[in-house]
Amino acid sequence: MVKLEIEKLRNYINGEWKEVARTTAVVNPATGEELVQVPLSSKEHVEEAVSAAKKAQKEWALVPAPMRAEFLYRVGYLMKEKKEYLAQLLTSENGKVIEEARGEVQEGIDMAYYMAGEGRRLFGQTTPAELKDKFAMSQRVPVGVVGIITPWNFPIAIATWKSFPAIIAGNAVVWKPATETPIMAFELAKILEEAGLPKGVVNVVFGSGNEVGNALVHDENVQVISFTGSNDTGRGIAAACGRQLKKVSLEMGGKNAVIVMDDADIDLAVEGILWSAFGTSGQRCTACSRVIVHEAVKSTLEAHLLARMEQLTIGNGLDESIKVGPIINKEGLQKIKEYVSIGKEEGARLLAGGMVLTEGDQRSGNYFAPTLFTDVSSTMRIAQEEIFGPVVSLIPVKSFEEAIEVNNSVSFGLSSSIFTNDVNQVFRAQRDLDTGIVYVNAGTTGAEIHLPFGGTKGTGNGHRDSGIQALDVFTEWKAIYVDYSGKLQRAQIDVE
């Protein structure tokens, strides 16, 4: 174990660390202990950060992109050096088990190097002009000041998915992290400072969504909002941005499914389900919360899944032997409990779990037993709504066609997976599943940072995080025409 030293958290504005009088506690969900106090900033702090970002952005946009990249290479290197330390802090404030925390920090490192590489690409296009002696091209230009609002479930990865493409493209950032997980944001800001990023290019303002998030969304000097979080919050932000004609990128909830066909490798499917349903205690936007199973293999799958669920160790994720960590807070725990009651009332059959765990070491943290419902119908609320906890619903189907229909019957469209060894079904599934991400013979989680991440329908609004596509959120396209004929040439008119 690395010795963790949690510093007093302060806002990072214009390259300076600024204390805020009002604070609230950050609690370790595994133990119930207070880790540190997080600032509760106000609208004035947001205005100060936005004004610093606006000023810094003008200079930053003039730094050649390959030179901007040098800062990100250093950030990646520093994150790599501190990986274990960051991972342990992440587990302490968020609860996810240490192996997953290491994976999340690695995602941030990968993103730093990937986006640094973009500094030497940021490709535009050249294209023939329709007139003689005329040159035509298009290029990406920064949008200006970017407001970033992030959730607690991936406190460092999501921040890097958004802020690294934003800064490589020449924007400045004001970032509001979730109040549950501010330590990761503080540590990332320290790394950006150590990497020598010019003052004001990235600013971090801690505080509540209603105050700080809302102020950021409504600030007229912020040109883009990039948000990840729940649908309710995202809808409100989209409406506010719409009224201001402000660009907004939303990544929201999911109701992801694993399909297990009658020819599937059942043990492999079980491992995929376990990893994607109970990893991060089911608190991932891509978590598997539905298993759509062909009736021919339903009872075998149930038996194998139950046997493996019994082996899951639940507790403080800093212990390497633990497989399932705590739920983020008491409200999360309560919501999961309510959905279990709803499932029972709807007539689903509870096969395992279904309760809050309060024995021994689990007494002081927020633990919920990995839960399995079977004989769930696709119209039940537990099969339609995001629960955000370790609860899986088995939905039996009679055919491939029915499996696809059930998968697509929800209002979300983030991730889906199919286990089959039939190559024809594989290709039909990747075509017909209506989610932004499709896995074959793997669970619903496991995104790699160089591919677009995001969903269709109620999961998003058409934008993508990570991948090259993230640059579309943080850039405008500029078309440039250079006429070297020495005379007036009129498009569409003076063509021969």
Q: Kindly tell me which of 225 and 293 has the beta carbon lying closer to ligand NAD.
A: 225
| Minimum CB–partner distance for residue 217 and ligand NAD (Å) | 5
Residues within the interface to ligand NAD (CB under 6 A)? 149-154, 176, 178, 208-210, 213-214, 217, 228-230, 233, 236-237, 251-254, 285, 386, 388, 414, 455, 459, 465
Long-range contacts of 330-336 (CB under 8 A, 24+ apart): 330/366, 332/283, 332/366, 332/388, 332/389, 333/366, 333/368, 333/389, 335/387, 335/388, 335/389, 336/368, 336/387, 336/388, 336/389, 336/390, 336/391
Q: For residue 372, what are the contacts with CB-CB under 8 A and spacing of at least 6?
A: 302, 305, 306, 309, 350, 351, 352, 353, 392, 394
Q: How far is the CB of 251 from ligand NAD (least distance, A)?
A: 3
> Catalytic residue at 194?
no
Closer to ligand NAD at the Cβ: 163 or 425?
163
In the complex, least distance from residue 391 CB atom to ligand NAD, rounded to whole angstroms? 14
The runs of H, that is alpha helices, within 319-359 are 330-346
In terms of DSSP bridges, do strands 437-440 and 415-419 run parallel, antiparallel, or are they unpaired? parallel
Catalytic residue among 48, 104, 251, 302: 251
Q: Among residues 287 and 380, whose Cβ is nearest to ligand NAD?
A: 287
Could you tell me the smallest distance in angstroms from the CB atom of residue 455 to ligand NAD? 6
Angle between helices 182-194 and 83-94 (to 10 degrees): 160
Q: DSSP for 116-148, please give it.
A: HHHTTT---EEEE-SSTTEEEEEEEEE-SEEEE
Q: Least distance to ligand NAD from the beta carbon of 246, Å? A: 13
Return the number of the residue (253 or 370) whose C-beta is nearest ligand NAD: 253
- CB 296 to ligand NAD: min, Å: 32
Q: In what order do the strands lie in the sheet with 247-251?
A: 16-18, 11-13, 202-204, 172-176, 145-149, 224-228, 247-251
Q: State the nearest-atom distance from the C-beta of 465 to ligand NAD, in Å.
A: 6
Question: E-assigned strands of 341-414?
Answer: 349-352, 356-357, 367-368, 371-374, 391-397, 412-413
Q: Is 215 helix (H, G, I), strand (E, B) or coil?
A: helix
Ramachandran region, residue 157 (left: φ > 0; alpha: ψ -120 to 50; beta: rest): alpha
**Single-letter residue type at 170:** G
Q: CA of 176: how far to CAs of 88, 156, 179, 205, 449, in Å?
A: 22, 12, 9, 5, 22
Cβ nearer to ligand NAD, comparing 270 with 382: 382
Tell me, yes or no, if 285 is annotated catalytic: yes
Name residues whose C-beta falls within 8 Å of residue 105's C-beta, 6 or more positions apart in sequence.
79, 83, 86, 87, 90, 156, 157
Query: Distance (Å, rounded) from C-alpha 397 to C-alpha 399?
Result: 6
Min dist CB 436 to ligand NAD, Å, is 9
Nearer to ligand NAD, 116 or 285 (CB): 285
When the beta carbons of 91 and 420 are compared against ligand NAD, the nearer one is 91
What amino acid is encoded at 148 in this protein? I
Q: Considering the candidates 93, 118, 285, 386, report the single residue annotated as catalytic.
A: 285
Closer to ligand NAD at the Cβ: 214 or 378? Answer: 214
Active site residues: 251, 285
